[in-house]
Amino acid sequence: MRLRKVLAVLIFSLACISARSQDIRLKGKLTDKTDKSPIAGATIKLTSQRDSTKVRQLITDQSGAFEIGNLNAGGYTLRISYSGYEIIEQRINIQASNVTPLSFTIAKVATDLGEVSIV
């Protein structure tokens, strides 16, 4: 009888561990809002809403694509930034059933320079 209880606890523990270690992947692509060209070298930062010390950060490849693996299901804050473009910050909920890549478009930011004095 005691062996059954130990086996039941062991099986339940293994099931919990395998559920937490799902290989959930977040895939996406970043393009320019105006001409739809890919944005290479943009920073993608994913922060867990449950534990803000769990941060994943990477840059987009030449085709503007990114992929972050080994994620757990739950809420995250996604921040996309690239010099000269607007910053996107969005809350997302990641589940194992989410397999469709996300698409993001960002617009260039117009910046006015102040006066320039040549001496």
- pLDDT tens for 56-93 read 999 999 999 999 999 999 999 999 999 999 999 999 99
**Maximum C-alpha span of the chain:** 92
**Rounded-to-integer distance, Cα 29 and Cα 65, Å:** 4
Q: Is this prediction's pTM over 0.85?
A: no
Show the CA angle centred on residue 117, arms to residues 116 and 119, nearest 5°.
150
pLDDT in tens, 10-28: 455 555 444 455 689 999 9
Burial classification of residue 10, based on how many CB atoms lie within 10 Å of its CB (0-12 exposed, 13-18 middle, 19 or more buried): exposed
Residues 6+ apart with CB under 8 A from 7: none
**Rounded-to-integer distance, Cα 69 and Cα 65, Å:** 14
**Rounded-to-integer distance, Cα 39 and Cα 26, Å:** 18
